[in-house]
Structure 1
Amino acid sequence: MERETITATKMIFSLALGIFSLFLLRFLNALLVKPRKLRSILEKQGIRGPPPSILYGNIHEMKTIAQIQKPLLKKSPARPEDSIVHSWFPSVFPHLDQWRNQFGPIFSYSTGNIQILCITDPEMVKELSLHTSLNLGKPSYLSTERGPLLGRGILSSNGPYWAHQKKIIAPEFYLDRVKGMVELMVESTSTMLKDWEKKTERCNEKVEIRVDEDLRSLSADIISRTCFGRRYAQGEEIFSKLQSLLRVMSRGSIGIPGLRHLPNKHNKEIWKLEREIDSKILEVVKSRGEGDGEDNNNKKDLLQLLLSAAESYGDDSNSIPGDITPNKFIVDNCKNIYFAGHETTAISATWCLMVLAAYPYWQDRAREDVLEVCGTNVPTSDMLRNMKVLLMVIQETLRLYPPVAYVVREALQDIDFKGLKIPKGINIQVPIPAMHQSIDLWGPQAGQFDPERFSNGVSGACKIPQAYMPFGVGNRICLGQHFAMAELKVILSLVLSKFRLSLSPEYRHSPAFRLVVQPEYGVSVLLEKL
């Protein structure tokens, strides 16, 4: 009996040792072998970059460069618009600017064990935009490191599962469908503006408004009503917690093996917010499944389409990974739509109001454009199409302040890019602000706000039109771009028809990257009722 116990103990020990050895080998391969092999393939083709450290890659160097080049905050001048510098890429992404100058327009670096090929060469960017093969997909870290925010929804998935999600979600944002949402957008915006009018009526002078906060609430209301059939007040907690999650995750680093699994304070905060958001979304789903909704027409909104798809889950079993449950499918895609349709559009509207307040000439021209098209009527979808000056203002704002900082793709197979062989596992990164602020592409006035450059469209504004990418590029371009443009036009046209704007003396111009490009200290404007 004792001998059998010893034998069993040895077997258990051997099994545990084998499992540990396997884990150690996989860890060392992910940490050392694979990254070194990928870098070697690029180096043999002349692609250089800063030497990485073990475990952290170039994360420490990135933080050091940022600390050295971090500008000192100064008191706002009497005219806050005098402090606005639109060529902010070198100050917000100083490591990329330094490495581009040091190693050329195509270079490599790493965050932890994630190997990145950074491309700022316009011709290579054009090649990327024209590459439609599924061999290029979204990076795996979006569904792992950024999993609490994005899960495996349409923004982060690949292959047949992504195609399955696109088939369900894309039709909701087709142009004809978006036209039917304009009336709801107008209603939501009018409610916000009535509150602004009350504030101006209480004060004979100009009233100061923190527009970024109000626009987040407005954008949340619009996406809730148009896509989920609910008012913002009913989903307010979801949006609030998503913003909190965004702030917490922006403080962390990606690519360090095992770090996201450690039960430290940072991760515990992320896990708590993730559980709360998932739970709240499922509450909304449950109430909608029980018939709680505002719309009584025959058109299904996005949430109903997701529910129907989840109910017929077995019909597309070949497209759906085995670990994706119906609830996860719904929750992940709701989070994706909430995030993409709410946060980025609100930030874009905020930047638009900032530049309109800073440039009275363009504010007056845009207002004349709106009043000429709409008169005293509220905008309709047909009217939005005729607002040419307002469109130019929006396009120029998205050029200078794209809410999404990068186009990122992962090579899911070995690929060839204009003679450059990119091995499977490399992450391709295009810094959008670098392309949008390039003098070579936009001319010597690239750092100035000049909507006139878009008078003949994107092709007339940029030497390589594919380098203008506020909504991404290729077959993974943002599905909601028509929705976002309609929403921006509705918000701006209604604001301009009722108010004159100027920047508050308290405004401090400081673009910051917090997973999205946003004004670090918000945007305060002075409103004067027309």
Structure 2
Amino acid sequence: MLYMIYLHSLQLLPSRSNFQGLTSPHSARGDQTVTVRGPAMASSVLLVASATALLALGLRRGAPPVAAPRRGRHVQGAGGPRAALQVSQGQQPRRQEDEGGGRCASAGRPRPQLSPQGGPFLYWFGPQPRICLLDYESVRQVLFNKSGHFFKIDAHPTILALLGKGLVLVEGTDWVRHRRVVNPAFAMDKLKTMTTTMVSCAEPLIKEWERLASSNESREVEVEFSKLFQDLTADIISHTGFGSSYKQGKEVFHTQRQLLALAVATLLNVQLPGLKYLPTKNNRLKWMLDKKIKTMLMAIIQPRLASNGGGYGDDLLGLMLEACLTTEQGEKGDELTLTLTMDEIIDECKTFFFAGHETTSRLLTWTMFLLSVYPEWQERLREEVLRERGKENPTADMLNKFKEMTMVLLETLRLYTPVMVMLRKPISDIRLGSLSIPKGNGIAIPIPFLHRDKEVWGDNANDFDPLRFENGITNAAKTPQALLSFSIGPRSCIGQNFAMLEAKSVMAMILKKFSFTLSSSYVHAPADHITLQPKFGLPIVLRPLDV
């Protein structure tokens, strides 16, 4: 049922006449070429994402298969399908993916309706009921709630191993304690000092592309940016997060990639009670990778703590450790104690390492895609970079002056949000507008649909129009703070300034040196693999500029 909302609303190719000629994924297999015109791609680009979008962070330990549907009957004010005692309602999108040979379906597939009522509706993941919210007012009530009525849904065991129970997943007073410790590391004055590191990580790639292009008769080079941005942002977070221990940090990255692949492969599986404790093949692999990550992080953290006041470093880990230590009066005088346990510190490292590179790499990927499709905006950003900085490398102060680049990045986040769904649950029976929601019932917030709501974003909600952010996020839509990519309210993303600085640094380095276009081999097939990414990569043709 739930995949309908994405097929209907997530029109991932913004309206644009020059999309004519982009081929459907079927044409890559030798089938008839399909000419795509703007929003017609909505039903063809999201068959992988359709099911996993609302499962990515919400698969929880299974409840008794009869009791859960009874709970769902008490949700008042929402339409939706009757309870069905089955393993998963994610199987239909899986079958549709198979019909496409592993690629997204034909552009001609009809788009179903959101729900018969057009408002919030109830759907089922196995025995677990979920309420899907389709209006901003209800979403704001959930995300801005400061009384602690809403918690995040219990994470899938593999997601928990991947992210750790850090700031993203921890709740209640533990969240307050974690936030107090982590917050100083992401203060803007601290982040500005990391801009030089971000730029220096990108420089070798720029020089290598220039070398490759100069050696070609065509004076151009084709680069696959989806994988490249993963590696680059991992390199940046390794240096800014772990400083001199960046080589060990990159080992953590490679192990997390294996854990991510396992998470993607198992997200559609409902977790039966006790299943996570059984020594299945997937569980054994998860335990092994998790243990390896913990061991590597311990090897980085323990020497810092052993420095005994000699400084913990000016990277993210050092800043967090400094904020984590408090002085208490002991038997032998003042003693340093940790406000977080060692396991909690490790979990925070997992969180900021994965979240700090994965989401930013997706933002960079889709920004490159959109600037390739909209060359006039590519040129506007290039002029802005050269006007503000010329040929010199960007600094933090200069990055803050890149107004048009900020507008483009925000519009990219609106159209191609890295995380496609937020999941919550009330910890007590609660009334939400016209809905009466029982304790523990899942609440789904589908970001792509809300980001395309014409009543909020205007009639051009499906178009790429960075000018909507000309006066900032607050004034970009009819509803204040309608951009949900970094969430809103007290649980908004603590790393959003880091992500924007990093994206600006990398894009400025590319724009001042190259013009670029989509490769003819590009196939538009966005897929939700925890984050939204091009399923078949993003091949881009780079041409050095004579500046």
The TM-score by the shorter chain falls in which range?
0.7 to 0.9
Which residue does 2:302 correspond to in 1?
286
Quote how far apart the aligned CAs of 1:393 are: 1.0
Q: CA deviation digits over 1:409-428, x for unaligned, max 9?
A: 22122333224332221221
**Aligned counterpart in structure 1 of residue 413 of structure 2, from 398, 401, 410:** 398
**Aligned counterpart in structure 1 of residue 142 of structure 2, from 122, 128, 133:** 128
For the pair 1:442 / 2:457, whether they are aligned, the reply is: yes
For the pair 1:473 / 2:488, whether they are aligned, the reply is: yes
Quote how far apart the aligned CAs of 1:441 are: 2.4
Q: CA deviation digits over 1:83-117, x for unaligned, max 9?
A: 999xxxx99xx9xx857333533112232343321
CA distance in 1, matches of 2:407, 2:198: 21
8 Å Cα contact 1:49/1:108 also seen in 2? yes
**Aligned counterpart in structure 1 of residue 74 of structure 2, from 41, 57, 68:** 41
Q: 1:346-361 residue pairs with structure 2 within 5 A?
A: 346-361=361-376
**Aligned counterpart in structure 1 of residue 317 of structure 2, from 303, 328, 337:** 303
Letter in 1 for 2:461: A
Quote how far apart the aligned CAs of 1:151 are: 2.5
CA distance in 1, matches of 2:198, 2:343: 29
Q: CA deviation digits over 1:212-247, x for unaligned, max 9?
A: 222112211221222221464332221111112112
SS in 2 for 1:476: coil
CA distance in 1, matches of 2:322, 2:478: 45
Letter in 2 for 1:274: D
8 Å Cα contact 1:125/1:466 also seen in 2? no
Quote how far apart the aligned CAs of 1:280 are: 1.6
TM-score, reference length from structure 2 = 0.79
Quickly say closer, same or farther: Cα 1:289–1:191, change in 2 above 3 A. Answer: farther
8 Å Cα contact 1:135/1:413 also seen in 2? yes
Quote how far apart the aligned CAs of 1:291 are: 5.5
Task: Judge which range, 99-108 or 397-406, deviates more.
Answer: 99-108
Which residue does 2:83 correspond to in 1?
52
Quote how far apart the aligned CAs of 1:304 are: 2.7
CA distance in 2, matches of 1:439, 1:529: 39
SS in 2 for 1:214: helix
CA distance in 2, matches of 1:444, 1:70: 35
SS in 2 for 1:466: coil
SS in 2 for 1:109: strand
Letter in 2 for 1:511: P
For the pair 1:187 / 2:166, whether they are aligned, the reply is: no
Q: How many residues align?
A: 472
Quote how far apart the aligned CAs of 1:298 are: 8.0
Quote how far apart the aligned CAs of 1:29 are: 10
For the pair 1:160 / 2:173, whether they are aligned, the reply is: yes
CA distance in 2, matches of 1:404, 1:139: 15
Letter in 2 for 1:281: L
**Aligned counterpart in structure 2 of residue 202 of structure 1, from 211, 215, 218:** 215
Which residue does 1:262 correspond to in 2?
278
Quickly say closer, same or farther: Cα 1:103–1:189, change in 2 above 3 A. Answer: same
8 Å Cα contact 1:113/1:256 also seen in 2? no
Percent identity of paired positions between Structure 1 and Structure 2: 34
What runs of 5+ residues in structure 2 fail to find an aligned partner? 1-60, 330-338
Letter in 2 for 1:263: P
CA distance in 1, matches of 2:106, 2:544: 25
SS in 1 for 2:173: helix
Q: 1:247-396 residue pairs with structure 2 within 5 A?
A: 247-252=261-266, 253-289=269-305, 300-307=314-321, 326-396=341-411
Give the number of the structure whose residues are more often helix, by fraction. Answer: 1
8 Å Cα contact 1:260/1:267 also seen in 2? yes
Which residue does 1:31 correspond to in 2?
64
8 Å Cα contact 2:422/2:446 also seen in 1? yes
CA distance in 2, matches of 1:279, 1:254: 29
Task: Judge which range, 128-137 or 208-217, deviates more.
Answer: 128-137
SS in 2 for 1:429: strand
8 Å Cα contact 2:62/2:270 also seen in 1? no
Q: CA deviation digits over 1:264-318, x for unaligned, max 9?
A: 22222222221222222222223444559xxx98864332344456666999xxx
8 Å Cα contact 1:406/1:431 also seen in 2? yes
Quote how far apart the aligned CAs of 1:375 are: 1.8
Quote how far apart the aligned CAs of 1:325 are: 8.4
8 Å Cα contact 1:311/1:326 also seen in 2? no
What runs of 5+ residues in structure 1 fail to find an aligned partner? 1-27, 77-82, 316-323
Quickly say closer, same or farther: Cα 1:74–1:327, change in 2 above 3 A. Answer: closer
SS in 1 for 2:533: strand
**Aligned counterpart in structure 2 of residue 139 of structure 1, from 145, 153, 158:** 153
For the pair 1:417 / 2:432, whether they are aligned, the reply is: yes
SS in 1 for 2:385: helix
Larger Rg: 1
CA distance in 2, matches of 1:135, 1:490: 39
Quickly say closer, same or farther: Cα 1:309–1:394, change in 2 above 3 A. Answer: closer
Quickly say closer, same or farther: Cα 1:70–1:368, change in 2 above 3 A. Answer: farther
CA distance in 1, matches of 2:362, 2:322: 32
Letter in 1 for 2:457: W
Task: Judge which range, 359-368 or 300-309, deviates more.
Answer: 300-309
**Aligned counterpart in structure 1 of residue 90 of structure 2, from 42, 62, 65:** 62
CA distance in 2, matches of 1:75, 1:402: 21
Letter in 1 for 2:151: G
Quickly say closer, same or farther: Cα 1:69–1:524, change in 2 above 3 A. Answer: closer
8 Å Cα contact 1:367/1:497 also seen in 2? yes
CA distance in 1, matches of 2:479, 2:415: 16
SS in 2 for 1:209: strand
8 Å Cα contact 2:97/2:103 also seen in 1? no
Quote how far apart the aligned CAs of 1:343 are: 0.8
